[in-house]
Each structure stands twice: as structure tokens, then as C-alpha cells.
Structure 1
Amino acid sequence: MLSVDEKIIKKIHSLYDVDKEYWSFSGRSKRTHCHGFIKYPAMMVPEMQGELIDLFLSVREGINSVFDPFVGSGTTMGESIIRGLDFQGVDINPLAILACETKSDSFYLSSLEEKINLLNRRLILDKSEAVEVDFPKIDKWFTPRVKIELSKIRRAITAEPSKWARRFFWVAFSDTVRDSCNSRTSTYKLHIKPPGYLNDTSCCRDLFVRKIESNFNLKKEQRELLKERGLLPRSRITSTVDLQISDIRKKPNKHDYERHDLLITSPPYGDNQTTVPYGQFSYLPLMWIDTKDLRNSVPDNLLLNSSSIDAASLGGSKRGALLNIDRLRGLSKNFSSSMDILLKSNSSGVGRLSSFIRDLDDSLDNILLRMKSGGFLVWTLGNRHISGNKIPLNEILRELLENRRCSFITEIDRTIPFKRMASRNSSSQTMNEEKVLIMTKR
């Protein structure tokens, strides 16, 4: 009889036999139901995460809870709750948690439709030209007309008495802010548009109304899917969902110890300066959204400027990056050899790599505390380049986990048909492939 690990390997290999590019999901990925609620950087493929979950459900009974320590916009969460699984997600970015809250929030759609109609009426009746927010460099990022139009939308949302409905509106509003600001849409970073394009923004109300309508239809689609599966009694999902705005390097609460059967995640690639700046992407929407509507309180230090969230993320601070470097070298020979190569090139990549691996290593003990013994760990990783040198992040992470008594099961190679990265980014050429590292906690 095959062991569980052998069953996992056999299932993955059988799919390779059918199609060598099976795990690329080229032409098979769509942003349906809750996965289309919000634009967010480097989102995972919903169909892939769903299939991975199904794979583990098929080889072991008793998998009830999924954990994502870098939850982002909630792709893994969305696939977990449509399978009736409990879920916990952690992220340092408040906008990510807001998106996740909306995806898992109440499904009172008749009430929501009525609230949308009242919202639209408030928008039409609002003749005020008062600007509702102020923050550093607001005039750089928004024209006078756009500031007035966004303020009308903000007032209309804050007038809604139900917090769950306001959260739904804020998510749509976040895309409206991004689409109407003066930053280029060709990059997730904040880069000012050329002068001739600053007044090309469409009417903000039109953008917002279209987004609300689209998200309402996606919510209906999500509700029908949950109802078909018997997972939505009394308009609430059967899954227990726990979302936290937190630094995963912090020790979890005791009640979170050994809580989860399955981890599915994709950590940040490890250099916000040249890859995906989640914080920069989120900064302008967070300046307009009333973050008090989130279930979690938002630490003030995360909203100080456009770099605050990225600085608080893994690899965001280079301070002390080379302290205790010998310990990390001892844990991972692949990290050590990568550092030697970067040291020879005398580049800034030494600090960039060491700070990220230091922070990733600091997170692992606290991640594993939340996992049950025998729990599965699934990491989707991009092996990017630093200073022209390919960094084997999958091998480094494997070694860090094996030093914590985790065991390797197998690995999936996948090509990325399309992943939008920062323009003029020499690193973007390296983001056309990923590794899916599968391990287990012993």
C-alpha cells in the first residue's frame, strides 16, 4: 500500500504525464466569483490553489483547516471556503485583509442591492466640492477634479450604517482610487504619469458604479457556488475564517498553536525595490479608505508614507542584514553559495538577499507553531535574479525547513503564462517560472 507521500507524488506525476505544462494553467485560469473583487499584485492562480487543496483532501482524511501566512488578496482563502474548510490568513498589508474580509463576509445580497441603490442616490445628490482627506503629496497624485469626485464617493460610503456593506464598498473604491490617480497603470509602483496624460481620467463615479456592479455580480456568483455545495446556511459561510493584520515574524497566540492541517502560500519574492511593492500599490487607496472599518486595528506606522508597508515586510529593512550571517550560512548551503557569488560581484545584492532570507527564516518557527504535526506545507516560489545571479529560493527554503525537522515530499515546476511586473524591471525576465515546494511537518 502506498504511503500518503507516495500518493501525492503519484498524483502529481500522473498529471505531468497528461500534459507537461499542466501546472502552468495556461488558458485555464479565470478570475471568477470572489477572485475578481480587487486588483492586487502577483495574485496566485485560483484553479491551481484549488487543485492543490483537492489533491491533499484526496490523499488524507481529516484535513479541516488551511493557513496562509502571506494571504494577500485571499486566493487560497477563496478556494478554501468553497470547500467548506476553516481558514486563517495573516498579512502585513491592511488592504489585503480588507479584500479577504469582503470575500468571506455576509451574503445578504437583497439587502446589499438596496444599499447600493441608496449609495447611488447619495452620489447623485451630493453637490459638495469639499475634499475629505489630506495627506503628503496628495496634489501630486490626484487632480483637483478627481479629489472632489473621490470625496463624494467617500462621503456616500461613510453614510452607510452597516460596516459589512461599507467594507464591500471600500474594496470597489480601492480600485477606483488606483484607476483615477496620477500614477501609471503599467506598474504597481508609484510613478507619475507623463504631463499630457494627467487629465485623461474618466469620471470617478462612473468607474466606481461599474466596479460596484461587477463586484455585486461576482458576489452573487460566489453565493450560488456556496449554496450549491451546501456551504451557506442563513447567508453565512460554514467555514470559520480568521484574518489578522500582523507581522508573521511575531509569535502567535497560544490558541493558534498546532491549529492547521495544510499550509498553502506564496511569500513575497524578497526585494520590494525591484519586484512587487505591495505597499506602494496599496498606499493611495489606504489614504482614502476609512481603515477603522476593518475588524483588525491598523498600526499607525503602516500608514506613515508610501514605503511604510514595504519597509515592514520581509526583506524591507536592510539594517543589520549581515548580523548572524554565519548562522544562516550553516542552515543553508544554497544561501551560503549565493552569498559568495554576490560578494564576488561586490553588489548591493548581498544586503538584499541576506535581509530577505533573515526575515524569512525569522518567520518559519512562528509559521510552524501554527501547523499540526503531519501537516502539509505548500510554498509557491519564484527563483528571481539578484545582480544577474539566479537565487535558488526553493532550495534555500527547503534547507531552512529541513533544519526544523520538516521533510521534503516533492516539487512542481511551472511556467507562468503571464505575470505583470514593474515596467523597466530587469528582474522581471526571471519571473516566468515558479517552483511549488511540498513538504510536511514531522
Structure 2
Amino acid sequence: MTEQIALPKALVADLGARARAAAAALAAVPSTAKQDALRHIAALLRAAAPEIEAANTLDMTRATAAGLSNALLDRLRLDAKRIAGMADGVAAVADLTDPVGGVIDTAERPNGLVLSRVRVPIGVIGIIYESRPNVTADAAALCIASGNAVILRGGSEAIESNRAIHAIFARGLAESGLPADAAQLVPVTDRAVVGAMLTAEGLIDMIVPRGGKSLVARVQAEARVPVLAHLDGINHIFVHAAADQAMAERIVVNAKMRRTGVCGAMETLLIDRAYPHIASLVAALRATGCEVRGGPGLRAIVPGLVPTTDADWDTEYLDAIASAGLVDGIDGALIHIAHHSSHHTDAIVTEDAAVAERFLRSVDSAIVLWNASTQFADGGEFGLGAEIGIATGRLHARGPVALEGLTTYKWIGRGTGQVRP
């Protein structure tokens, strides 16, 4: 047992030491050099699309044989369009303003000492994720652009895809004159490596988990390194009595069915009892192939719905399934959301501006929307380029975490000989 534990710890120690050296070098690299490297990597990704797709086919074949769910298979799948989108995402990060060195604020003290808060990289970021191989590219690009080194630990189901994508980053960094160790991929699938990363104090400065509830729970329970948490997307849409019918149906269908396996998908539909088009709204959702599980009040209006259980209101389906129920106006919606929300993304559909503003103020989630689909919960849609994840906590960063969320700050003082009396 000791030997089994020692190997992952030694591996992480080696990765961490190399990452710290790369982070120190990267912190001093000019913005233009980082941006040029990312544009070069984006071009390499486009050119290597056939090789990446072939590697992904190996992963998909194994995952299908292993019985992974349709939602997980969708997250794992890479085709020419998705690879092109991945490359575009890397190029988009290169076009973003580099936050490193940015001055947050400056103040002059009465004694003439000038103090500034200046953005700096966090250092070494550990990303632990499942299924989605595009995270390899997104996370690496964001970390490089923000001056951080990154250690990537993807799921075993995507190992071939991740290796192919990481190889492009290593090549692109080296060809651009930047340290290849700035982006490292854990080369083994041993789950004990995750535990070693979570306790790598002094080597890894922050852990970002991206995956299911069990992964995030393990990270939060075992981590001795600060964690930027990304919890379940138990997202609600509340259709208020004053909602426009066509808009409500369009938003609800898109929020659930555009892509059911993403964390921004709607999982619970709350309908105001006074909304005059309840049956039509549910029918529009069911017409797309979505299974609607209804509470007792809703089933009385729309027969044939699958009855909800208590567990449904706290379930992230990541599938063509939604729980739906009636509530008594905005007060009922706020009570339900406060009790069941994962603080990810919640939305209201209404033409009543006063009700909408109350919802926006009262719902304690990282993203709160008015008359828009929850599927906009994405860094690219927020103008941030690729994202490292949606942070649902209350500290450091919240919502889509991109370049600025991967920096901290230090105080810089400029004096003229001041001494403290």
C-alpha cells in the first residue's frame, strides 16, 4: 500500500516542481508572446483535427462498450465541428486583454506613500475533470494566457483525446519559445493521482474540479489546496404570469433541449399558477422529446406526466428530462429556488420589469437571467473566451471563470523615503 501511494505522490511532486519553474518563467513573459503562442497552438489544433478525431474515436468506442450514458457520451464526443470550435476558443483567448499587470486601484496615503493593487498570476493550477476533452484545450489556454502553469488530470474515458490535444499544446509552446511544462497532462489514469494532487500543498496553488457530484464532493472533502468549486447545475426557469407566451416556450425549449448534457441546461421548470398558457408551455417542451415530470397541481392540468418525487427537485438530469411544478407567483418561485437551487444559473421569463428586478436581486446564484435561456451560462457567451468552469461559491470568483478569475493581486508601494513613526 505504501508503494502504491508513494508512486502517485512522486509523480505529482515531479509535475508540480516542473510546473512551478514554468510558472515563474511564464509570469515574466510579455502579453504578446503568450498571445502569439496561443494563436500558433490554435492553428496546430486545426491542422491536427484528423488525428484528434481518430484519438477520440478510440475513446468513444471504449466508452460506448463500457455503457456510459448518452449525456456523458455527448460530452466526450469530438467531431470536426467541435474541434474547429475548440481551436476557435483558443484563438479567442489570445485576443482577450491580458489581466496580468493590470492596476486594480491606486491610492496615495497622507505621508505620500503610493499604494497600488496589481493583478498577478495565481501560480500553478490543477484541473481535475471528467469526460469533456475540450476542457484540456480551454483550461490550458486560459492558464497560459493568465500567466499560470497548469496540471491537467482528465478522466480515463477521454485519455486518448486528452493526450492528442495536450501534445499540440506542448509542441506549440516549445515552438513559440515558451516553457512546454506550462501545460502538463497527468500521463496515467490512476485515481490515486487525484488524491496526491489534492494534498500537494506548496506545489499546486489552486484546484478546479469539473465533473459530477461525486468528483466535486471528493475534492472538497480531501483537498488541502484551495478549491474553486463548480457544483451541480440544478438550474430553474420561472415562467411568471406576465410572460410572453411565444418567448416563454422558445426559452424553455432552448434551455432544456439545445444541449441536455451541459451544466447550463434547465433542470426544473417553475410555472406561475396564474400563467394562462400552462398546458401549451408543457406541450411545447414535450414535443421536443423531453420527459416532463410534474408535481400534483401540474398533473391536474396536464394529464399523463410522470409524477415527481422529492429527489427530482434536487437532480441534475443532464438528459432530456425536466421536473416541472406550479408555484404561487414570484414568492413561491423564490422559496422553491432558495431551497433547491445549486446556485449555478436561474432565470425568469416575464414582461413585468418590477417582478424581474426583484427576482434578479433576490436569487442567490452565480448567474441570474431575465428573459434569456440558461444555456447562456458559458464564458464564451459572456465575452470571456473559453472558461475554466462556472464557480458557484461566494469567494474569489463567481460565475464563468476566465482570465481575471485566474489571477490574484499583490500590493505595490512606491515611496520617497517614508519611515513609520
TM > 0.5 fold call? no
Q: Which has the higher helix share?
A: 1
Q: Which has the higher strand share?
A: 2
